[in-house]
Structure 1
Amino acid sequence: MNFAIKVAIFVLLIGGFRLYRLLESMPPETQSKAILGLLIAAVGLAIIAYSAQWLFDKLRFYIETTSHQSDIRFGVRLINLNEKFRKKHQSNTGALVKKVFEGSPAFYSNVLPGDVILEIDEKRIVDAEAAILLLEDANKWPRQIALIRNGRKVTIQMDYEQFILDNS
């Protein structure tokens, strides 16, 4: 059940119980106004709760998609695989390429957003952090990267020194 609906039900139950006790002492012409006020308060709090939940969900999405560092030397931003990608690729391990920075070694090696990095130099990638740690090793070039693209396994060979020579 949605959080906002739970808040509205809670307000109606608690407020309704208290209002029921107060209605006995109220004149009949103010009873309908009191009931209407309770309903307006419940709807208002439900709207606030819904807005807070929506904001929280947006913030959580932003944190999840930006919480992993990007590997500047290689030129990618990686995130962990979500449930959708795990089911689609039948794998719990790997790192999803969220962004490729133009002009980077990854860009010129034709790494694309949406690729799933499975291995770097024949070492299995468990998650985005593991991939970043392997990519940060500046002394380990050339790189052999195994990834899944459009459901097919692709291997990319990338040489950072060749990239520097080609782009200087």
Structure 2
Amino acid sequence: MKTKSLPFGRQSWPLTLIAALVLSACGSDHHSNQTASLQANVKNVVVIYAENRSFDNLYGNFPGANGLSSLYDASGKLNANYIPQKDRNGNVLSTLPQTWGGVTAGGVTPVVTQAQSAGLANAPFSIETAFQASANATLTTGTVTRDLYHRFFENQMQINGGKNDMFAAWADAGGL
């Protein structure tokens, strides 16, 4: 399958590699002097990533990250840290809504249609593997998905006072 990549993909790898090396040095027992030096001298780390991507989308499974894995207990079940998405009345959604207009942007392969996005569990998911069963599609972090709108007041409703439980209710992209 051919995947259309974003134009910045190749240029972002050096930055990602540098960030990975710095972060790996921070947690290594072999480099305690380097770790102490980094902790004393590095005040901020800024990570810049593509629009419509999140920390969890890119680094959620990175070793030591407080990402997707922090939402599951040892048996693989969602724990109390997970807050499910709700509808506009505040009721928990049984599944995420279909992604209106399809998951992937027009002209992008693999194609994931609106119908193929139906029935996605109301739980965190990996964009790479979420549509393998319904669309026989494996996406990558470089696969262009449909664009989401960015409107201040809708975003405030999605954030819902910090609960972040109304994105499916107030977005124009369903469960995406």
TM-score by length of 2: 0.24
TM-score by length of 1: 0.25
Higher RCO (C-alpha 8 Å, min separation 6): 2
Higher Cα radius of gyration: 1
